Amino acid sequence: MPSIQPLPDQDRVSTLEAFADTIVPGAKRHEGDRAVAGVVPGPGAVEAGALELLRTPATGLSDALDDFADALNAHARLYAAAQPDDSVPPFVALSYTERTHLVTVLTAPGHPERDIWVSLALFSNMAFDTGAHLHTAEAIAAGHPGLAALGFAPPSEDGQWRFSEFSYGRPLARLHPDTTPSGSLA
């Protein structure tokens, strides 16, 4: 196995973006975008803030992101059938189909690094599906792409979520007579 050479920061960023885009693909951000493959229209994990979420210390992964990017590129060097394009990191140089296949191998049961790659994949999904790195009301107000795609309703003017219709079409229980207007029992 070739030694893992440290990559310049932008190379690591684009590598992690390419990984996140493999998990939840999105449209290219600009014509020369190589990290985002652009295999689907609309926003994906990168636009939804996957890197911002991964950089959050609460993930437990933030201190190792450079190492993960370097390891992903080492795997891509071994995987690539041809010499990858040297103008971008090896994982970014792979086609979307090749990226998907390599990620499938890395996340397969029995792969010794599976837990790392599954964790990165889960956080990529979380960034899109929940905007976990943002306050929900602020994410909705800013037009977070994943929450918008899911049709997540904005809060009321006071910042609280209330639903005028019951999800089952009827209340599940009668309100206790001692319930205050705030919803607490007196």
Question: Using an 8 Å Cβ cutoff, are 47 and 29 in contact?
Answer: yes
Residues belonging to the chain? 186
**Quick one: pLDDT at residue 119?**
97
Dihedral in degrees, nearest 10, Cα atoms 135, 138, 142, 145: 40
Question: Using an 8 Å Cβ cutoff, are 24 and 128 in contact?
Answer: yes
**Quick one: pLDDT at residue 85?**
77
Q: Which residues contact 148 (CB under 8 A, 6 or more apart)?
A: 140
Split the chain (186 residues) into runs of 10 and give each run's mean pLDDT.
55 97 97 95 96 93 94 93 79 96 98 97 96 91 92 85 73 84 82
**Quick one: pLDDT at residue 1?**
35
